[in-house]
Amino acid sequence: MDIEFHWDPGSTNTYFAWHLLKPIARNYGARIRPHCFNLGYVFRQNRYALSDEPIAKMRNRKRDLMRWAAHYERPFRIPDRFPIKTSRILRAAVAMRAWNQEAAFMDAVMTQYWEQNNDSIAEDDGLVALAQQLSIPETSFRAALTADETGQTVVNETQSGLDSGVFGAPTIVIEDEIYWGKDRMEFIARHLETGQSHLASN
């Protein structure tokens, strides 16, 4: 069974969902299929700004994220530079498909930004360095990163997500059933186990 994973690397919840989803997928023999979902574009379309959220909510956000990190024993931290533009990272992830390295690249992105405070991955040179760690030649990677069709794929996947009802990242879709956020893993596991969502059985 396929799991459609709509992601943006600038989302804290994407970090946790990615790491929590992978063992579930392995356990049920499911395949995760990543799709770009450019939150910067979505936020602009909806005139949403993170800074507009209530101060009390913003104050609690970090404490809550650190609870998740402690509970799941993840070396997560809030980067010094947050948020960052993620369009180039999404382009790079698409480019890595040519080498069948998209998932490994996503792992590396999550580690560098959300664990090691490395915001250089928002820029081309930082992405090149990351690709080289995965043994991808610089010249070939830069060509794929900057290709018009790579950028268009990011646009197309984001719009396709919106058209299918995706509204945020991370969003996990299994057989047209939408699971949003990092805290739906129990429902996802049940869907994979039974072949249907909880609602379908009622």
**Full-prediction pTM beyond 0.75?**
yes
Could you tell me the CA-to-CA distances from 177 to 14, 164, 184, 197 in Å, in that order? 18, 10, 12, 7
Report the Cα–Cα distance between both ends of the chain, in Å, rounded: 22
Which tokens hold the place of 144? 């794929």
> pLDDT over 90 for what percent of the chain?
84
Mean pLDDT of 103-128: 98
Which pLDDT value is given to residue 58?
72
pLDDT at 201 over 80: no
Domains annotated for the chain, with CATH where assigned, are 2-201 (3.40.30.10)
